[in-house]
Amino acid sequence: MSTNVENPSSSMDTVKWLVAVVLLTGAVVGNYMYADMSALVRAVGVVVAVGAALGIAATTEKGRTFIAFAKESRIEVRKVVWPTRQEATHTTIIVMAATVVMALILWGLDGILFRAVGFLTGLEI
C-alpha cells in the first residue's frame, strides 16, 4: 500500500527553486549585459548571486536532503583506509604489466587469425 503525503512546504519549495533559478539566470545575463564594467565587480556580483541562490536552494526539502547526504558522505570518506604510496606504486606496476601481457597475447592472436584467414581464403595482404 502506498500513501502519498503532501508536504505543506512543497509549494513554498517550488517558489524557492524558482527564485534560485531566477538569481542564477540574472547572474549570467547581468555578467553579459555589464561586460564594460570591471571584471572584479562582475565576479563579485556573480559570486553573491550564486551564493544567494545556493542559500535559498539549501532551505528547500531537497536542499536539506542533499546537505545531509553530503555530510554523511564526508564521514564515510574519512573511514576509508587509503593505500600507502608504496602500495599504490606496486598496484600500478602490476596493472601495467598485466596490460602489456594481455596486449601481447591479443597482438599474437590477431596475427595468427589474420594469417589463418588469409590462408583459408587465398587472400594474402
Contact between 45 and 33 (Cβ < 8 Å): no
CA dihedral 33, 34, 39, 41 (to 10 degrees): -120
Secondary structure (3-state) at 3? coil
Could you tell me the pLDDT band of residue 6, with boundaries at 50, 70 and 90? low
Question: How buried is residue 45: exposed, middle or buried, by Cβ count under 10 Å (0-12/13-18/19+)?
Answer: middle
The string over 93-116, giving b where at least 16 C-beta atoms fall within 10 Å of a residue's C-beta and e elsewhere, is eeeeeeeeeeeeeeeeeeeeeeee
User: 65 vs 19, 60, 74, 107, CA distance in Å?
Assistant: 19, 9, 14, 51
pLDDT (tens digit per residue) in 69-108: 999 999 999 999 999 999 999 999 999 999 999 999 999 9
pLDDT at residue 39 tops 80: yes
* Residue-by-residue DSSP string for 90-121: HHHHHHHHHHHHHHHHHHHHHHHHHHHHHHHH
Could you tell me the pLDDT band of residue 63, with boundaries at 50, 70 and 90? very high
Return phi, psi of residue 80, to 5°: -70, 135
